Amino acid sequence: MAMPLRQTLRVSTYLMQQKLKRRDKFPLIVELEPLFACNLKCEGCGKIQHPAGVLKQRMPVAQAVGAVLECGAPMVSIAGGEPLMHPQIDEIVRQLVARRKYVFLCTNALLMRKKLDLFTPSPFFTFAVHIDGLEQRHDESVAKEGTFAEAVEAIKEAKRRGFRVTTNSTFFNTDTPQTVVEVLDFLNDELKVDEMMISPAYAYEKAPDQEHFLGVEQTRELFRQAFSGGNRRRWRLNHSPLFLDFLEGKVDFECTAWGIPNYSLFGWQRPCYLMADGYVPTYRELIEKTDWDKYGRGRDPRCDNCMAHCGYEPTAVLATMGSLKETIRAARETLAAPKAV
């Protein structure tokens, strides 16, 4: 992993504790959605398809923090919608950081420069900016010109002020190995973000654009070529080595949807962030009363083309922890990973 060493050790300790307690299902990171409203209409997202009344709702701070504490995950990804539109987002972050949770605030960055003063740099806090290609491709995917340029300036300013900044890039069937390389080179070498997360586009059922999602074989070929020539080793990718192997088709895994549970205004979402088969009020009910065995490729047709990190990164992490060879490999790659200047 390219995570900071302190965070890697914290997560590794947490995973060891779960193993000692003989827990077979537990959260690695919780996906928290304190609102669905957004200031963009991205072609691959369906969150803003909710009714106007729902889009006006904002999750109370106590409810958001309580959900994270309820499930016990060491890491939190705050998404939405656009979380910087939440009037108390800074307080949600502050309370989670005070509890030593590793918080990733996912944002399109349009409001980021205006909101930076609300936050304090911390090893427990990271801005995770969505960058889906270079300028023309990114602006097309979010349906708004100037978004890429603003995101770049926001990243530069946040880095200047001492914040950790990562990026999240989704790739579609309109991408080529070259476009993948170009955007990751830009983020890695020019913007010098701390880490980068990548994911093949999953056929999110409410997304406006249903034509450009990747299939399994398309995904494997895309990343196999993009990773060639030593690119994997020089990019600061925020993934386990086994997950990157998975994207290339070197290994295959079953989905571990319970590893990254989703909590939103509706409650705990079954079975994952990308599929909504109902909601339950408590984390315990989500884990104990969801038929996890019916999901995944070969079991549910909606899962057949999914290789998203929210389902398969936890599997890769658990496989790493279960293998001395892979644990050593991951540790070596963490120590050898290039650092952002």
Domain holding 217, by residue range, is 5-336
| pLDDT (0 to 100) of residue 1 | 44
Residue numbers in the chain where pLDDT is lower than 70: 1-3, 43-44, 46-48, 202-213, 337, 341
- The answer as to whether 126 is a domain residue is yes
**Residue 301 C-beta-side C-alpha neighbours within 13 Å:** 1
- The answer as to whether 341 is a domain residue is no
| pLDDT (0 to 100) of residue 306 | 87
**DSSP reduced 3-state for 206:** coil
| pLDDT (0 to 100) of residue 186 | 97
| pLDDT (0 to 100) of residue 298 | 87
CA distance 253 to 341: 35
Q: Answer yes or no: pTM beyond 0.75.
A: yes
- The answer as to whether 81 is a domain residue is yes
Could you read off the pLDDT of 141-191 as tens digits, one per residue?
888 999 999 999 999 999 999 999 999 999 988 899 999 999 999 999 999
| pLDDT (0 to 100) of residue 210 | 47
CATH of the domain at 75: 3.20.20.70
- The answer as to whether 134 is a domain residue is yes
H/E stretch holding 233 reads helix 231-234
CA distance 29 to 15: 12
Closest CA to 321 of 295, 75, 313, 6: 313
Tokens of 91: 């307080």
91-105 per-residue burial string, b: 16 or more CB within 10 A, e: under 16: ebbbbbbeeebbbbb
Closest CA to 163 of 127, 111, 113: 127
Domain count, the chain: 1
CA distance 224 to 251: 12
Crossing angle for the helix pair 135-142 and 147-160, nearest 10 degrees?
110
Phi/psi at 314 (5° precision):
-60, -40
Closest CA to 254 of 327, 294, 311, 326: 311
